[in-house]
Amino acid sequence: MSPDPALAAAVLEIERHAARSGWDQPARLFALVDTSRLVDREPQLAGSVGEAELTPVEQDGLVAGRPLEDQLVTISWPETVDGCAAMVERFVLPPDVEAELPDEPAAAASYVAGHPDRQEVRIVAGALRSGASFCALRLRAHDDDESVLGGEDLVPALLELVRGTLEGEDL
């Protein structure tokens, strides 16, 4: 099965947009809307949304300092939103070090932040109501567009939370 091309394009667009602002950014959230329906509803946007099938629309309202994962479980979208994408920066460790992680979350975070083998990564995880998903990952150590990794299920836990925002009732 190949990735949904419109979703992959939207996720990569968000990642490139974030990359232009550099590193150490707060988490960000985007509604993904069908471009043609958006222009039908908002004709004044016709010249600024481009020709992509999906348009990412950045959302305000994320609480700074509160983990994105905690906030995603409280979010629901109206039916006019076809999907969503979340962007977050995290530290990751090589798989062989994971067994050394402390069980307590604060201790684990401190351990990861101080570990010499940690890598900083920017993750953009997107999903559509159809069930399609796509992720883009950029390592700070390889900070160029050609080194961005992409795939349908690279960050399963974050994708599950993103998908969950599309399943709830409208708030």
How sure is the predictor about 170, in pLDDT bands with cuts at 50, 70 and 90?
very low
As a residue count, the chain comes to: 171
At residue 59, what is the residue type? Q
Tell me which of 100 and 33 has the higher pLDDT: 33
Position 152 pLDDT exceeds 70:
yes
E-strand ranges in the chain read 28-34, 54-59, 83-92, 119-128, 133-139, 149-151
pLDDT at 33: 96
Position 78 pLDDT exceeds 80:
yes
Of the candidates 155, 156, 138, the one whose C-alpha atom is nearest the C-alpha of residue 147 is 138
Position 22 pLDDT exceeds 80:
yes
In the structure encoding, which two tokens stand for residue 161, read together?
A: 């939370």
